[in-house]
C-alpha cells in the first residue's frame, strides 16, 4: 500500500510563482460586542499578506491610540473635503462621528496582490461592494443571542448605560442587514468562529477569478515551457 504524505496546510495553499493574483478586500462586520475586532486581530497575526485598512475618523482620539495606525484622525471640515474630493471608497455617519476608508492606499495594495481587511458596518460594506464588486468578500458575525451580546458589552466596562442602550438598539438594525453578506457566522465559540473566518479567507484567495497569472501558466503548459 502506498505511503501517504501529509502536506502542511500553509504549503498546500501556496501557488506556483507564475500564479500572480489580485488582492481581495475582506470585510468583517458585526454588532459591537459580537467579536469582529478580536477575530480581526487574530487574522492579522496569523495570515501573511493581509493588511488592516486604516480608516479616517472625526471622533476624538482615545488614550493609547496612534494617529495613522489606529485611525487617521481628522476634523469635520477636512473629512467633508475628502468626501467632496472622492478620496473615500466608503464612508458612514456612526454615533455622531464620521468614518471613511481612504481610497488610494487600498487600491495600491489591491493591485500589488495584497489583501486588505476591513472592520466596517453594513453601510460601508454595501458602499464598498458597489464600488469594488468582485474584489470584495463580506463576512457578517452574529452573536449567539442578544442577551449574550449585552452581557459582553457590559463586561467590557468601557461604556455608560446610555451608550450600551444605543449600541443594543443599533445592533438590531445591523443584524437586519445580514442578507447583504456573502457569509454569515454565529460567534458562539471564539476559536471556532475564527477558524471558519480563516478558512473563508484562504478559499477566496484561491478563486480562479483572482489568479491573474493562471492564463500565462496554462499557455506555458500548452507549449511545454513548464
**140-176: per-residue pLDDT in tens?**
999 999 999 999 888 888 778 888 888 899 999 999 9
**CA dist., res. 216 & res. 214, Å (int):** 6
Quote the distance between the C-alpha of residue 51 and its chain's center: 9
Sign of the C-alpha dihedral computed for residues 202, 14, 109 and 76 taken in this order = positive
CATH class given for the domain over 17-53+114-223: alpha beta
Q: pLDDT per residue over 96-126, tens digit each? A: 899 999 999 998 888 888 999 998 889 889 9
Distances, alpha carbon 75 to alpha carbons 29, 83, 211, in Å: 25, 13, 40
> Coil, strand, or helix at residue 179?
helix
Q: What angle do CA 85, 108, 10 make, to 5 degrees?
A: 145
Cα–Cα distance list, 221 to 19, 211, 215 (Å): 13, 16, 10
Cα 55 to Cα 52: distance, rounded to the nearest angstrom: 9
Distance CA(76)–CA(78), nearest Å, equals 5
Domain map (residue ranges) of the chain: 17-53+114-223
pLDDT at 212: 83
Single pTM value for the model = 0.81
Amino acid at each position: 500500500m502506498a505511503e501517504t504524505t501529509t502536506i502542511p496546510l500553509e504549503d498546500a495553499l501556496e501557488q506556483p510563482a507564475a500564479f500572480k493574483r489580485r488582492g481581495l478586500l475582506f470585510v468583517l462586520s458585526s454588532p459591537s460586542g459580537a467579536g469582529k475586532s478580536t477575530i480581526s486581530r487574530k487574522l492579522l497575526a496569523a495570515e501573511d499578506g493581509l493588511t488592516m485598512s486604516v480608516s479616517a475618523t472625526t471622533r476624538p482620539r482615545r488614550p493609547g491610540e496612534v494617529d495613522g495606525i489606529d485611525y487617521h484622525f481628522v476634523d469635520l471640515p477636512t473629512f467633508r473635503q475628502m468626501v467632496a474630493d472622492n478620496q473615500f471608497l466608503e464612508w458612514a455617519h456612526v454615533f455622531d462621528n464620521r468614518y471613511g476608508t481612504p481610497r488610494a492606499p487600498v487600491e495600491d495594495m489591491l493591485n500589488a496582490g495584497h489583501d486588505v481587511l476591513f472592520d466596517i458596518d453594513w453601510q460601508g460594506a454595501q458602499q464598498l461592494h458597489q464600488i469594488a464588486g468582485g474584489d470584495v468578500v463580506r463576512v457578517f458575525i452574529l452573536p449567539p443571542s442578544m442577551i449574550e451580546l449585552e452581557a459582553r458589552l457590559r463586561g467590557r466596562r468601557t461604556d455608560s448605560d446610555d451608550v450600551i442602550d444605543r449600541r443594543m438598539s443599533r445592533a438590531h438594525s445591523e443584524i437586519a442587514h445580514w442578507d447583504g453578506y456573502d457569509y454569515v457566522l454565529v460567534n458562539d465559540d471564539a476559536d471556532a468562529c475564527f477558524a471558519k473566518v480563516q478558512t473563508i479567507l484562504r478559499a477566496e484567495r484561491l478563486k480562479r477569478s483572482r489568479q491573474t497569472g493562471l492564463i500565462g501558466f496554462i499557455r506555458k503548459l500548452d507549449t511545454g515551457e513548464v
